[in-house]
Structure 1
């Protein structure tokens, strides 16, 4: 569903009415390409993909049970102000991931030995003149 435990929390400006109660507190996780693929495989139209991905990455909307946070719930109850807020919150989740990666120690070593391989290859593959 989502990558790791990277989430951001906030409060919807309007909220979602569910079981006679307005729910505003949200927690949103990091969306992945896998989330996008899954919603397309579920038959969601191109226009609905962003909402369906939100449904997959929203880990909390007030007291709404997690299994009730669906594409259909958002389509039927999410107002434009709240959708705009969730897009902003989605960007905050991405920033959180970036800040975590920049805080990782840099060992100064390359992750691949492509330079070594290239120099060895050029020596061994050099034509004899």
Structure 2
């Protein structure tokens, strides 16, 4: 089966594999493609499941982020299927993939690495303030 992923997610996904997988149509489906989260994911989860536990919101958000899970058809890949079929360890694998994806997409830090010299010259006043009074 050739996997068709929406082009808007090019470079914004991560591929992984669940340990146990989600059972569907007689098979445990393990390989997944997860896209970067967007603001609407959490909003939709909260709208869909108001007054529900945080864990259900989390599953609903991951459901929206999952572009594929094995060969499960998109219409069959539901929050209820994930809720009933994901083990805690598989949920942790998805959470780790989500964190890794966000880290991969984060802009580089503007902070100078520890130990690196500054390219800005120190003023005489700054140099004087570093001398200890004896």
The TM-score normalised by the length of structure 1 is 0.71
Query: Any gaps of 5 or more consecutive residues in structure 1?
Result: 103-129
Deviation beyond 4 Å, 4+ runs, structure 1:
none
**1:63-102 alignment, distance < 5 Å:** 63-98=71-106, 101-102=107-108
| TM-align CA RMSD | 1.6
Match of 1:46 in 2: 53
Query: Any gaps of 5 or more consecutive residues in structure 2?
Result: 1-5, 109-134
Whose helix proportion is higher, 1 or 2?
Answer: 1
Q: In the alignment, is the contact (CA less than 8 A) between 2:49 and 2:57 conserved in 1?
A: no
- Note the C-alpha offset of 1:15: 0.6
- Note the C-alpha offset of 1:67: 2.0
Aligned: 1:17 with 2:28? no
The TM-score normalised by the length of structure 2 is 0.68
Task: Indicate the SS of the match to 2:64.
Answer: helix
Match of 1:27 in 2: 33
User: Take 1:11 and 1:75, find their aligned partners in 2: how far apart are those partners?
Assistant: 18
What is the aligned length? 98
Per-residue Cα deviation, 1:3-35 (whole angstroms, up to 9, x for no partner): x41010011011111000111001101112211
